[in-house]
Amino acid sequence: MATKIGIWLPMFGGWLRNVEDERMDWTFDYNQRVAQAADRLGFSTILVAELNLNDMKGIDAPCIEAWTTIAALAATTKRIRLMAAVRPGFRLPAVVAKEAANIDHISKGRFELNLVSAWWKEEMEMYVGGWMDHTERYRRSREFVRVMRGAWTQPVFDFDGEFYKAKGCVLEPKPVQRPWIPIYAGGESDEGRDMIASECDAYLMHGDSLEVVQSYIADMRARRERFGGPPLVFGMAAYIICRETQREAEEELKRITNVRASQRSYDSYRAFVAGTKMRTQVSLEDYSVSNRGLRPGLVGTPEQIAERIHAYQALGLDLILAQFSPMHEEIEFIGKQLLPLLDGHRGVAASAA
């Protein structure tokens, strides 16, 4: 299967923690323009993170809310798939199942979920007044998925768990997609990987080298085989710097990694590192962009980046969720120059502009 390219929606008004002005903003109008351009140009997927605080620019900076945004985009896009993150600590699973089914109908079967078991203690305490340890969060996520799936597939659903209960739950209409809406999730701990391998449809990774991604895919395939179920889909986050020449791309990479850490955004970065059980160390350069996005090395000309993506494709990577800055300008160049070089991608040729 060819590796598809999707995007993260720039709900924070930017992706660069140490660049003050990225010539983009957080408003719904801007995000809708980016989403509609991605739809028109042939990108596969839009992911909207569910955070109530701005992870990139500092907690006192504005950001838009994920689920109201994705519902609006479901009505104003045509072909692109729409993925919303969901944090069990903020929501109840049967209610989420109902909301997700509705968005799936609005979008005519284009909706997906990214289950995030939570890492930001300050945000959780601020919005719900509580926090769970790492193992508890993944046990809760397991039940969250089971409640949603039961409500989506059974005429009447009962559940009696440690964290959630449902008595005679009826959910109609069921989602357009059968048997259920696809569920993506990420995690590097054994608890997280086991939960994902047993309960979810796809595994999302932070950006990393070919060797690391290959090892993660092999590990998750083995876990999936042990738990049973259809093959997992594999996705990865990445930051793309695509330019007409390699020199221009390298100059941009140097610019955005010239780290001048601001306290307000560095705090959320440290909270992320402290709140997860990652298997590789996060460097200060990784701090420059989110999700270890520079590690895949998608920096260079369209042809160079396409060759690098094909190498990930050979490992079994199905989806890259990309960030770039500024989004609206970059999405046009990448959509017209890079996507047509990728196998099976519905890119728009440059001459069609």
> For 4-352, CATH number?
3.20.20.30
- H or E stretch including 315? helix 302-315
With a threshold of 0.95, does the pTM exceed it?
Answer: no
* d(C-alpha 260, C-alpha 268), whole Å: 15
In degrees and rounded to multiples of 5, residue 270 shows phi and psi of -65, -35
The per-residue b/e assignment along 182-204, b for 16 or more CB within 10 angstroms, e otherwise, is: ebbbbbebebbbbbbbebbbbbb
**155 vs 343 pLDDT, higher one:** 155
Distance of CA 346 to the CA centre of its chain: 21
Q: pLDDT for 203-262, tens place per residue?
A: 999 999 999 999 999 999 999 999 999 999 999 999 999 999 999 999 999 999 886 645
- Any idea what DSSP says for residue 61? S
For residue 125, how many other CB atoms are within 10 A of its CB?
11
Domain boundaries, the chain: 4-352
Q: pLDDT for 257-280, tens place per residue?
A: 886 645 454 555 555 555 555 555
Tracing tokens 């990393």 back to the chain, one arrives at 208
Distances (CA, A) of 333 to 8, 41, 57, 106: 16, 10, 25, 30
**Is residue 290 a contact partner of residue 321, using CB atoms and an 8 Å limit?**
no
DSSP-based three-state secondary structure for 68: helix
**Is residue 41 a contact partner of residue 76, using CB atoms and an 8 Å limit?**
no
Crossing angle of the two packed helices 327-337 and 28-41, in degrees rounded to 10: 0
Position 118 scores a pLDDT of: 77
Q: pLDDT for 9-59, tens place per residue?
A: 999 999 998 888 899 999 999 999 999 999 999 999 999 999 999 988 889
